[in-house]
Amino acid sequence: MDVQYKIEKPNLDKIDKPSVLKRFTENDRKYMPFIMGISEPEYLYWDKGKYKPVPDDFSREEFWYLVKQIRKLSSNPTHIKAENGEYFTWLRLTYTDEFLHKIDVHTGGQIFAPYEALKEENRQKFIARGILEEAIASSQLEGANTTRRVAKMMLLENRPPRNNSERMIVNNYNTMKMLEDEYKDKELSKELLFEIHGMLTMSTIPTEEQNRFRKDSDDIVVRNSKYIAHTPPKEDFLDAEIMKLIDFANDKDDKIFTHPVIKAIFLHFWVGYLHPFTDGNGRLARALFYWYLLRKGYWTFMYLPISSIIKNSPIQYANAYIYAEQDDLDLTYFYDYHIRKIIQSLEEFKKYVDRINAENRQIDLTLGKKIILNDRQKQLIHYLLSESERNYVTASSHMSINNIARRTAFSDLKELEEKELLESKKEGKYNKYYVSDKLKSLVLKPTL
């Protein structure tokens, strides 16, 4: 029988609580640095917080009680209602404004001014990369058992999926493209939720589980290893709250402005908590995170495959949900985790662009005066020399990377072969183009 996972909690029953509060009020300046140290730079729960320094006149349990009281007094309610009738709360941490400012600046276009690789004509190329990476990582988070390299080749070459895992990735990829192309211009509704969910789960779940919300009889739980990590609320609660989620996503009944990134994070959590479908809820939650930000004009988030960052810390991602639900409905755990992953994704993208620029300069210095190429051909050479996981292209992948017609793709590749920069090999039904020995000798030691 499955057992509900319970987070470790200290025994606070024997604490003299009035004494703890009295000591704090008499000398709050002494204790505040310790309290801040357990909430920032990372918002810690007891399982890690118990190892942080505590004041010399407090036991660890007493200090945790004090931390909890300060957090509760400083928190604000969200729109997200728990099944017990109470609302999730969140604490606006001191770094919030700084982080949101960084995100606004970086995803508002200013990040791109110094980067020649991100000229307007290359925008679609970087969006395509972001969509591709997000589709793969988001599906892998939900159990898609396919390597990044195989999945990337499948998407770039437009190869039909061969198993359920590959189908999940293709579905996610198509959904992400639809978010950018069409869905961002639509208000959220039950019908749109069904449509997005249907795209994400096409041919991977029974059709009778699409176009409807889950029911109690479906007996859905979220498992974490051998434990139940989350038991979704009953269907009556789901049916009532999903409409509030939709209004929230459409900015209905917003009396106080909430930053779009904060709202997108809350929307991500809310979908995960309600778990409205029998399967595909995680992918849906992350898709709606992007959908909301695209509607708010944060189009450069399409450059940022945040799931690729989350995939590196899946246990922390799961714990962010669990802590929020089991520690007095404190959504700050999830918010803190998520916004840090956004910042990390921005930093990783900047490093990627810097690396591409360095490679571009090296290759342009080598080829610029000796061989005349169009921008697409230069980008193709950049791609082949900078992609450590991939050493060939096909006409289909060249089309996908640069968003061009098949005839143009063939023309580019043929000319590169005639200039002896690429060499083709027939493998199966594909002509695969590899870096030639001549190109390797010209470039010498590309930065990979």
Give me the mean pLDDT over the 112-140 stretch.
Answer: 73
For 159, other C-beta atoms within 10 Å of its C-beta total 15
pLDDT digits (tens, 9 = 90+) for 287-297: 999 999 999 99
Query: 3-class DSSP state for residue 393?
Result: strand
Residue 297 shares a structural domain with residue 235: yes
pLDDT digits (tens, 9 = 90+) for 369-405: 678 888 788 878 877 876 555 578 899 888 887 778 8
Domain-located, residue 79:
no
Residue 271 shares a structural domain with residue 389: no
Of residues 268, 164, 282, the one with CA closest to residue 220: 282
pLDDT at 115: 47
Residue 233 maps to which CATH number? Answer: 1.10.3290.10
Q: For residue 402, give Cα distances in angstroms to 197, 246, 398.
A: 29, 36, 6
pTM of the entire predicted model: 0.89
pLDDT at 448: 37
pLDDT digits (tens, 9 = 90+) for 92-101: 999 999 999 9
Please, which residues have CB within 8 angstroms of residue 203's CB and are 6 or more apart in sequence?
A: 167, 171
Residue 410 shares a structural domain with residue 343: no
Domain-located, residue 356:
no
Among 77-86, 307-316, 397-406, name the one with the lowest average pLDDT: 397-406
**Mean pLDDT of the residues in the chain:** 89
User: What's CA 351's distance to the chain center, in Å?
Assistant: 18
Domain-located, residue 362:
no
Residue 306 shares a structural domain with residue 421: no
Residue 121 shares a structural domain with residue 270: yes
Judged against a pLDDT cut of 50, whether residue 214 lies above it is answered with yes
User: What's CA 315's distance to the chain center, in Å?
Assistant: 15
Residue 57 shares a structural domain with residue 103: no
Judged against a pLDDT cut of 80, whether residue 435 lies above it is answered with yes
Maximum separation of any 2 CA atoms in the chain, in Å: 84
Domain count, the chain: 3
Residue ending a domain, among 27, 44, 74, is: 74
Residue ending a domain, among 50, 74, 98, is: 74
Domain-located, residue 361:
no
Assess contact for 447 and 366: CB atoms under 8 A.
no
Residue 160 shares a structural domain with residue 238: yes
Domain-located, residue 363:
no
pLDDT at 1: 57
- Identify each DSSP E strand in 215-291 by its residue range: 222-224, 227-230
pLDDT digits (tens, 9 = 90+) for 268-294: 999 999 999 999 999 999 999 999 999
In which band, very low, low, confident or very high, does the pLDDT at 111 lie, cut at 50, 70 and 90?
Answer: very low
Distance of alpha carbon 257 from alpha carbon 236, whole angstroms: 30
Residue 64 shares a structural domain with residue 104: no
Residue 115 shares a structural domain with residue 256: yes
For 212, other C-beta atoms within 10 Å of its C-beta total 14
pLDDT at 422: 93
Q: What is the percent of the chain where pLDDT is above 70?
A: 93
pLDDT at 158: 85
Residue 106 shares a structural domain with residue 66: no
Give me the mean pLDDT over the 325-343 stretch.
Answer: 97
In the block, residue with structure tokens 């639900």:
325
Give me the mean pLDDT over the 169-198 stretch.
Answer: 96
In which band, very low, low, confident or very high, does the pLDDT at 359 lie, cut at 50, 70 and 90?
Answer: confident
Domain-located, residue 259:
yes
In which band, very low, low, confident or very high, does the pLDDT at 444 lie, cut at 50, 70 and 90?
Answer: low
Residue 132 shares a structural domain with residue 31: no
pLDDT at 368: 65
pLDDT at 113: 44
For 136, list phi and psi in degrees, rounded to 5: -65, -50
Q: What is the percent of the chain where pLDDT is above 90?
A: 66
Structural domain of 402: 373-443
Judged against a pLDDT cut of 70, whether residue 116 lies above it is answered with no
Both tokens of 268, joined, read 């991500």
Domain-located, residue 448:
no
Residue 144 shares a structural domain with residue 173: yes
Assess contact for 171 and 196: CB atoms under 8 A.
no
Domain-located, residue 357:
no
Residue 381 maps to which CATH number? Answer: 1.10.10.10
